[in-house]
Amino acid sequence: MPKGKPPDTTDQILDDIRRSNAAILATADKSLDLQKEQLDSAESTQAIAGKSLQLQNKQSDVANESLDVLKQQLDTANKSLDVENDQLKVLKQIRLAEKKQLKLLKEILKALLRILENTKPHHVYTLIISKEKPPMAVQPGVGSAFKVIMQDNGNPITPPDGTVYSWITDNADDVIEEKSIDGSFSLVAITANGDDPERTTMTITVTGADPNGEPLEGSLVVDVVPGVEQHTYTLVVQQLLDPSINPLVGRKPKSSQLPAPTPKHKK
């Protein structure tokens, strides 16, 4: 603008308007650029979010697949557990059957043992005491022989070697003398004490051992009778010579009373 000339207000105003519009346009361009940047950022963020969502979806799918696998494994485990339970039930039934069979076998074994016990020989050992000579009664002061024999089921047997018998009576003053012993019996002489006139019985007891080593005992009760003096009675025939007593003396006997003639023997 030339000096000294006043400025044109209209031009100035237009210039101001142009400058203002240019500034506004520049600001709008900057705003537009900023919006574009924001839009690009938003699109980038949206893309990232989409990718993130896709990733999450994939992770969800993987998780679902893992869950399906776990469900299948759980189903398999449940089926295996059911099979094991069935097997356990079968084993319990087998055990129960085995117990019943074992009980039955035990009963059969007991029955067989009873049968075997009844069939095998059953030994009943006894000691039998007997008086060697009758009568069964004994007299005080007089020795009497007694014998003991071991029997098996009532049959005499020979006891094992070394078998020893012990004899006692119910009176400690009785005398017991061992006479002989062999493989089958023992013989003793017992003399009853005569100091007790009221004694009427004597109990003899013998102890020993059976072939199995078990103690064995036998006893015998005999009567004790007092001694009786032995008398021998005889009849004696004598011929009397006194005629006052014997009427046959001094008389001639009749023929019927004569003795028969003695026959003569030929030489």
Q: Decide if pLDDT at 134 tops 50.
A: yes
Task: With H, G, I as helix, E, B as strand and everything else as coil, classify residue 47.
Answer: helix
Non-local CB neighbours of 132 within 8 Å, separated by 6+ positions: 144, 145, 146, 147, 187
- The two tokens of residue 230 are 């032995």
Is residue 252 pLDDT above 70, yes or no? Answer: no
Contact between 177 and 229 under an 8 Å Cβ cutoff? The reply is no
Per-residue pLDDT reduced to its tens digit, 85-98: 999 999 999 999 99
Residue type, 190: I
pLDDT tier at 29, thresholds 50, 70, 90: confident
**pTM of the full structure:** 0.45
Contact 187, 146 (CB under 8 A): yes
